Amino acid sequence: MNSLVSIVQVLKAISNEKRLRILSWILDPVAHFPPQRDGDLIEDGVCVGFITEKIGLKQPTVTAHMKVLADAGLVTSKQIKNWVFYKPDRTAIRDAMKTLEREINLSLLDGQSD
């Protein structure tokens, strides 16, 4: 997939307020979620049940939002027992931001008036 297509997918994924909020929470899970019985917040990610409870949506809706984030490459998932845990793919997020900067070429904006 070329970089422009992938950055469009990332932008679509984070254009939804709920998904952007979830992504920001799982980037700093210790600050936003309680300790989990199964799975480490940092190593394994955040249980979909905790995300569902915090965001106040139904579990299938949260799962759909997480699929969009995963399809954009922003999060990874793993199953532990009966639960799915999500964590951010920090490398992919950094790469997406670098690609966005390159595609927009922010240096061209420096020094130009609106």
For the segment 48-82, what is each residue's pLDDT rounded down to a tens digit?
Answer: 999 999 999 999 999 999 999 999 999 999 999 99
| pTM for the whole structure | 0.86
Q: Nearest to residue 67, comparing CAs of 46, 86, 41?
A: 86
The total domain count for the chain is 1
Contact at 8 Å (CB) between 87 and 46? yes
Tell me what pLDDT residue 110 has.
Answer: 63
Tell me what pLDDT residue 36 has.
Answer: 93
Q: Nearest to residue 55, comparing CAs of 22, 12, 83, 87?
A: 22
Quote the domain boundaries for residue 24: 3-101
109 part of a folded domain: no
If pLDDT is split at 50, 70 and 90, which confidence band does 10 have?
very high
CA 76 centroid distance within chain: 9
Mean local confidence (pLDDT), 96-106: 83
Mean local confidence (pLDDT), 34-46: 94
The CATH code of the domain that includes 14 is: 1.10.10.10
